[in-house]
Amino acid sequence: MAANALDAELDLDAYWMPFSHNRYYKQSAEHRSNRLLARAEGSYYWTTEGNKLYDALSGLWCCGLGHRHPKLVEAVKKQLDVLDYGTAFQMGTPGVFKLAERIAEAAPAGFEHVFFCNSGSEAVDTALKMALAYHRARGEAHRTRFIGREKGYHGVGFGGISVGGMVANRKMFAAGMLQGVDHLPHTHNLKEMAFSRGEPDYGTHLADELERLVALHDASTIAAVIVEPMQGSAGVIVPPKGYLKRLRELCSKHGILLIFDEVITGFGRMGKPFAAQHWDVTPDLITFAKGVNNGLVPMGGVIATKQIYDTFMTGPEHMVEFFHGYTYSGHALAVAAAHAALDVIAEEDIYQRVNSLSRSLEETVHGLKGEANIIDIRNCQLAAAVELAPIEGKPGLRAIRVFEEALKRGVLFRFTGDIIAMGPTFISTPDELSRMTEVLRDSIRAAG
């Protein structure tokens, strides 16, 4: 069927699109041009119009191994021939126990236990509940406060938007958010950091703002601090040198748990299994999702230290220790895909490939410096962003125009406000990164 005929046949009204400008998208075929995806393979999508798009953000940070990797596809097909769904409550499957062991082995030393859920949002809410319950089990039930960070994104559960710091995600739902949450200042300072390559030199002192919050609330009331090591959804905001280590020191000093939200950075994006290892900073809880099985089947989870797990393992052995879980925790298909993804990461030397490709990304993206309307370029391993000057009175419009111009030229970017984000697949080539950057250059010029 021709693409225009298919578009005309679709009733677009029923589907309420997530994080999307529904009215704009549905308004005209022109606004939907190249925005109906038909298939994918490797680092590319194809639209219903037959156009090929380079996937410059690995799906939504999740398909680092490329789309439809044959080993992952085959693993899920084989699993369907054996077991489709196995109840997770009071039962288990061999695969989920083995997967937990593999993930714990990949994590920093001391992390020995994995709790599975189905998304990054669920992983964050699970980690917050673990933190509260952990302190209660230790006799410190007065530790109930969470500290997030401005511009932080921790999913869309009420816990996640409470500790998150993106205003658009918070303002409409204020009545349902957790009480007693405070926020560290963000580290996004264009005056001091613009066009930094990797970690900015400026901003380490911003971690010391935790001392101010401790003085304000008293450490005895604070359960946990949660941060993304690298803030992806806000537009690749890179931590200043030494910032994460300082947060770790202060949390340890005051008996506060440190949670790393690694939904974006886990399983390869930083050239290590986890960003905690890239920065050599060990938190107390790590959340993950997306890359654990390359986005093939929804899956997320929390990795906990032995100390945290053992704190829960008290009381009568026949009693449930942690009243929390999901119908689809450790879903058999998601587990099969995750095992295959971990196999591919090892067999294809993915972490080394990411480290090598990261150098190419830095060089090519920073080559855009000097283009009109670019006010910042930043990068962190295999992630980068170009920040654009907003059109007066119309923030976000310039990025939309660049996004649409890039689609015409065969590249799918991600935009947040007036920021164009890039998180290429781990299987990309330097030539593909170079072409991606030149398309961005041409699109910025065409958008005006």
Give the CB-side neighbour count of residue 425, counting CA atoms within 13 A. Answer: 26
| Domain assignment of residue 5, yes or no | no
Average pLDDT of the chain is: 96
Statement to judge: residues 342 and 297 lie in one domain: yes
- Residue at which a domain ends, from 347, 378, 402: 347
- Residue at which a domain ends, from 307, 322, 347: 347
Q: Which residues on neighbouring strands pair with residue 55, listed in sequence order?
A: 412
Statement to judge: residues 311 and 377 lie in one domain: no
Tens digits of per-residue pLDDT, 151-163?
A: 999 999 999 999 9
Q: What CATH number is given to the structural domain containing 393?
A: 3.90.1150.10
Statement to judge: residues 253 and 367 lie in one domain: no
Domain housing 37: 33-65+349-447
Statement to judge: residues 395 and 317 lie in one domain: no
Number of domains present in the structure of the chain: 2
pTM: 0.96
Name the nearest CA neighbour of 188 among 241, 242, 231, 250: 231
Statement to judge: residues 252 and 386 lie in one domain: no
Statement to judge: residues 176 and 38 lie in one domain: no
Rounded alpha-carbon distances, angstroms, from residue 264 to 61, 211, 252, 283, 295: 6, 28, 25, 16, 11
| Domain assignment of residue 16, yes or no | no
Strands 52-55 and 411-412, bridge-based pairing = parallel
| Domain assignment of residue 430, yes or no | yes
Statement to judge: residues 281 and 157 lie in one domain: yes
| Domain assignment of residue 23, yes or no | no
Statement to judge: residues 232 and 380 lie in one domain: no
Is residue 2's pLDDT more than 60?
no
- Residue at which a domain ends, from 325, 347, 369: 347
Residue 378, Cα to own-chain centre: how many angstroms?
Answer: 17
Is residue 248's pLDDT more than 60?
yes
Q: What CATH number is given to the structural domain containing 272?
A: 3.40.640.10
Statement to judge: residues 235 and 373 lie in one domain: no
**Residue 101's pLDDT band (cuts 50, 70, 90):** very high
Rg (CA), the chain: 22
Statement to judge: residues 221 and 115 lie in one domain: yes
Statement to judge: residues 372 and 340 lie in one domain: no
**Residue 6's pLDDT band (cuts 50, 70, 90):** low
